[in-house]
A and B are shown apart, each in its own frame.
Chain A
Amino acid sequence: MPLSQYILIAVVKIAIALFVLLTACAYVVLAERKLIARMQNRWGPTRVGPFGFLQPLADGLKFILKEDLIPSHVYKPLYIAAPMLSLTLALTAIAVIPIGQSVTIGNANIPLQITDVNIALLIILGLTSVGVYGIALAGWASNSKYSLLGSLRASAQMISYELALGLSLIGVLIGAGSFSLREIVNSQAGWHWNLWYRGQFVAFFVYLMAAFAETNRVPFDLPEAETELVAGYHTEYSAMKFAMFFVAEYANMFTVACLATLLFLGGWDGPVFGPAWLMVVLPVLWFVLKVILFIFVYIWIRGTLPRFRYDQLMAFGWKFLLPLALANILITSLVIGLTA
């Protein structure tokens, strides 16, 4: 493939992925508001467009048109850099996530993934671990006690749960023998999903909990506990800068959901039938369905559970999830070692 064609395909893929991701983020916000409203016996947004379908557009316009306020006491360079950092890292993760096998257009065989690297999983873990800086620096640069406390909570929580998150993946890695997300999915082909086939349901549970904590979602949303900390690390942010954090949070949710799908739910594995075009579309459809299912669990839990106390959060992470993940690694490797 000539270089120009390669670059063209890459740019097109990046554009599509970003557009889909950002739109999906916007509409997940709407879905969340609607669903939570239904759980609480309300209507949710209904006024903008039919069934409130234009609400995300209105929100986006509002963020763009609002005055971009920078408080006078902040440390400006980092204050401005922090949300950009958060958003950039959150969006970068999508680059290595595959959503299906590959399509052939003309003579080019294009994998449904922006770039297929063999350490994709490490890259995603690295990006999430570096993503802490956006939040930590936002809190520090804001020069406000609520922001600082929120960001300290967030970074402590993310570091603590990153361990459990990383360890929960090892069982899967041992089974697949690769860091490449594509190969991990291929190793689960034919309904051999990690969730049950290699007995990784414990790992899935640990991953689920740690992922909720990593994305600062209910019941782990202490960093922005509005009753204690106003709004946590983004207290001092407004307009587009706030929107960047907001989008970053939802983009992270998508990353986590995609990862769960790829690692535990078999990726795009599912019943495939019909004519050739359907054979291509169906796997992507299964993948999207699984992601949406995962996102729904997110929202469902937000509508159901109260928030943890800080010490409960730490104890749960260090004294329960971490040993559980370690035990899972031990047992998985024993089983694989003895049956190999």
Chain B
Amino acid sequence: MTPVATPFFFYFLSAIALLSGLAVITQKNPVHSALALIMTLLSLAGLYLMLYAPFVAGVQIILYAGGIMVLFLFVIMLVSIEKSSREYQFNHQWHVAALATAVLGGLLIYVYVRGRGIFPNREAVLPETLNTQQVSLHLFNDYLLPFEIASLLLLVAIVGAVVMAKKRI
């Protein structure tokens, strides 16, 4: 099947990602923030699918939406959210921050409009069926060392969590 209505889906998914990203920081209730973040992650997975990267999309859903965010929600559900839902969401500097963000955003938009055509414009030619194989070939050939170092990074993170959280080590 050839893809149908790609621009529509691109803008649709991007809009969801952006709007729910906004909701993450504006929602008072942390559970709502977490749910909005899940929406962002899922729409990103959709964007990966559109880039002919089904493996990455699947992993995105399993790891981020299905693993990490469940733990987030888990912790949020265990702590009392009464207090945080009464708290004022923005501190007194938010005007300045909003202004800075707007300026920065404007700058980035300007840059991308001016710089259009500078990125190598390539269609995704990779056959979708080979995405998984391609990922693994890259991981275990070209990027073998970074891959192994990343495992060290995770180990260090685990050690750190134990050191920080466990009373007697």
| A residues in contact (CB < 8 Å) with B | 78, 117-119, 122-123, 125-126, 128-130, 132-133, 136-137, 139-140, 148, 151-152, 155-156, 159, 162, 166, 178-179
Contacts and interface: CB of A to CB of B under 8 A. Distances in A.
Contact of B74 (A126, A130, A156, A166): A156
A148 B65 contact: no
Given A122-B62, A129-B65, A137-B73, 16 more contacts: A119-B55, A119-B58, A119-B131, A122-B58, A125-B58, A128-B66, A129-B61, A130-B65, A132-B66, A133-B38, A136-B73, A137-B35, A139-B77, A140-B77, A151-B77, A152-B78
A238 B70 CA distance: 25
Interface size class of B (residues with CB under 8 A): 20 to 34
B77 A136 contact: yes
Contacts of A152: 74, 77-78
A215 to B, nearest CB: 16
Chain A at the B interface: mostly helix, strand, loop or mixed?
A: helix
Nearest to B31: A140
A136 B73 CA distance: 8
Nearest to A130: B66
Interface in B104-138: 128-129, 131-132
Contacts of A151: 77
Interface string B56-77: 0011011001110011011001
Contacts of A126: 58, 61-62, 65-66
Contacts of A156: 74
Interface of B: 31, 35, 38, 54-55, 58-59, 61-62, 65-67, 70-71, 73-74, 77-78, 128-129, 131-132
Contact of B128 (A118, A129, A136): A118
A123 B58 contact: yes
A178 B55 CA distance: 11
A119 B129 CA distance: 9
A148 to B, nearest CB: 7
A71 B47 CA distance: 39
Given A117-B54, A118-B129, A136 B70 contact: yes
The 4 A-B residue pairs with the shortest CB-CB distance, nearest first, are A129-B66, A122-B58, A126-B61, A119-B54
Nearest to A81: B35
Nearest to A136: B73
Nearest to B76: A140
A119 B59 CA distance: 10
A238 B71 CA distance: 28
